[in-house]
Amino acid sequence: MERMLPKKFVRVPGTKWIISMNPGPFNQKEHALISVFANTGNILPQAVEIIIVLKTYYHKKINLMVAMMIALSTQLLGYGFAGLFMKFLVDSPYMWTLHETEKRPRGLLTRLQFFTVAFVSSFAYYIVPGYLFPSISALSFVCWIWKDSVIAHQLGAGRNGLGIGSFGLDWQTITGYTSDPLVTPPFAINNIMIGFIIAFYIITPIAYWTNSFEAKRFPIFSSNTFDIHGQRYNVSNVIKEESFTFDENGYNSYSQMYMSIFRVYSYGLKFASITAALVHVALHHGKDIWQQFKEAYGDQTSGDVHSRLMKKYEPIPKWWFYAILVSMFSLAIFSCQRGLGENTELPFWVIAVGCVVGLLLVLPNAIICATTGWE
């Protein structure tokens, strides 16, 4: 745009303002702003899932304004949390890798050129598995050979089994466990792959064929919930429709809730990963966090290049973030207590506990995400 648009300045009629259609050189601040906008708009607010579940599965009437307040408050709470940790995540030189200059090696491509080639190629290729031949997303030769064997399908199915002996030609299938290997560091990909193999190819089969948690009653791999008879769990049997509360008598007379063995361990490992994240950050980044803490509340300065460059700009007032945090927390309580009202049994203290837990996990999750590309 800098090369194409005219650089001539034009005065706004009736004012002293002059403007130009030429934006000038593309800089780091614009790059950062575009990244923030793209990532914010690319991720569906998790609060929307609450509204969808209430309306779709429980047939609750949710006011549009209430739904917007819930989604807005949960999203902006994150901005308030981010402002509290700006010293650790933005000012830290270890978190700043955006917009680095790079010279093209002789006979090779720069990272930007490689990204462009990969982006165009993947976009063009996805027409094949995504539209023309969706069946090539998962090719299971084991299932083709022993098509009547249940065990063969459990071992070889690429969609509802372990996928042993199967492969896919769909980019989403290939990168299923790494999300995007083009932006994930190799050490993170290796760690994810090792953990995936241990959890999916060692722990899950052993737990299934030893019938842990009544695993053989249900599919080895499924996201559904089941009753004791292996049928889809009927949630209406355990919820009082008039008060939308848990019916303990109905639960005892109906069935416990069961999940596939893979989902059981998925949930367990997700909870374990929270503790692992805290321990990892404390061991590997504890000294850096403590140093940043002393600089934030003391007279010390790190003196790195990034910090010196940032001092040229007026810092964002902290009270902005405090105001966002307090106002959005109040809006969340109001929308849940007054807006949803009879549709949920969510007391205000649960929202407070959730915010405190989220606040404690912001720093370790942000550090891991910044250094590995994964949350």
Domain-wise residue ranges, the chain: 44-91+302-372, 134-266
CA distance 95 to 88: 9
pLDDT at 84: 86
Q: Is the pLDDT of residue 208 over 70?
A: yes
CA distance 67 to 77: 16
| Residue 206 or 346, more confident | 206
CA distance 198 to 177: 13
Percent of the chain surpassing pLDDT 70: 91
For the entire predicted model, the pTM comes to: 0.76
pLDDT at 203: 93
CA distance 370 to 91: 13
Average pLDDT for 109-124: 84
| Residue 296 or 89, more confident | 89
pLDDT at 207: 94
Q: Is the pLDDT of residue 306 over 80?
A: no
pLDDT at 250: 93
pLDDT at 293: 74
Average pLDDT for 113-131: 84
pLDDT at 315: 79
Average pLDDT for 91-120: 71
**Burial class, 41, CB count within 10 angstroms (exposed 0-12 / middle 13-18 / buried 19+):** exposed
Amino acid at 298: G
| Residue 374 or 64, more confident | 64
